Structure 1
């Protein structure tokens, strides 16, 4: 499904974040899942985020100090965080999570015989603060053609349409086409890069186009987004393109090692809060309760907490038998 497909986009130590309630779905896919709940959020009242990862254990892994200069209501500097689990609502560790991989001896996918579909990808690119002389249309066309060829694409033909204040140009490629709206007055070029084959070259083509226009000096001078669109049947590379489309499973299946059990001492205040809340769940108005303590009952924190509860009519501390001291084989 879409969630499993998205998980394939992650690095091994990557984290997938979804807003709203996706805890159950994430827990089935990832080894570690965490739900964070932020209360008192303006306008929407509260916000929850679900995090999933195959390698990052959200409860125990070392936190990273991110560099940010603007004030932040929730994500504070590490030195200002007293409780790293303050906003944690749910946590799951699933050693049987779905792991998409390929068997080591699995046969190669058969080469397709008939072209069943023809996808295309349209990338919208905006280039601002261009340093190239945009008033010379022929020069702009030549610069863009050179950039596309250097990126590995093949030119078929070009066309131009000039207006007193702007121009429209197009470049037809074997792998698709590009149309560009050029505004010299504003040092701006808007481009539609539509490809129906060799999709893996699209990012390189975009970078080459932006560089050719001189909009690469500042990363904020260009932007882009992509839309899945229709393609073209009969392209010479359709078989190779079919193999590259969609999520590709590259990791070889291995028997995962069971994550080690972490021997972590629970903080006293957390232990106290949990025990106090658990006692309140006992439905009887009066009861007898036994508390397992170590050899020194006077140092038993749990015993002190239980004795404070007025509904406990009798409290029995359970300590080791006399003669069994620290280091004795039956101490446990």
Structure 2
């Protein structure tokens, strides 16, 4: 084929594309399905004349007859059957594209009710939330900060979509779906100038030292209670607080010892005490309701937070 013929062929292709519209494709498929122009027109709520016009436009654009018309029936020609096969796929692709685009649009707005353990959210979680907000500025984020026990109850009641939670290793919260983010080793911690600072001792040596711990509902309180039970300790509780800084501050002044994560002990300038009975590690994760599928926008936030932890590990 010479260049002129090639240009002519390409021009013919462009002409077909410009002449045939989506409504024409649907018209041909309706006639093929119903075997009648009149019934196809009724199905699409258009006039018979319009239906004939749409089919004629396709036939003229392609230069073929799609239907054999008689007084009794309308039947597809071989070319018509080929056209119907292709048109069906084209319309399915168009419908799929519309659904995908609309779904993507829905994910750019909405609201996520996110729970956070009061005062102990990791920097990586804040960074993930910041990136999510940058990528989805029209999504409203509503935070609730309280104890893990209260956060889990809120998930179960449907008052939260998603929550950062933590639990003692091996004991995830019940009746909610969870995904682990990381595991944090915990330790006995004391003031830097405490007689036990930096030592390795039997857990029984802690019996005469008061315990500074957290209020009920905070996971480190649960871990401390389990540590005392396994070490056969009956501690004197010096103070319970829901505020991490209060616990750390009192330990610094030698009021007693506490159970915290190794990271938090180093960050707060506390000294680690190694004991023959180690406290359970703390697992951090995300929780959402098991009652139904997670809201798609909340699912995006869950995936963003999880991704931040995976990249850290890599």
* Same-fold call, TM cutoff 0.5: no
TM class by shorter-chain length?
under 0.3
Q: TM-score, normalised by structure 2?
A: 0.20
Q: TM-score, normalised by structure 1?
A: 0.19
Query: Higher relative CO (CA 8 A, sep ≥ 6), structure 1 or 2?
Result: 2
> Which of structures 1 and 2 has the bigger CA Rg?
2
Question: Which structure shows the higher helix fraction?
Answer: 2
Question: Which structure shows the higher strand fraction?
Answer: 1
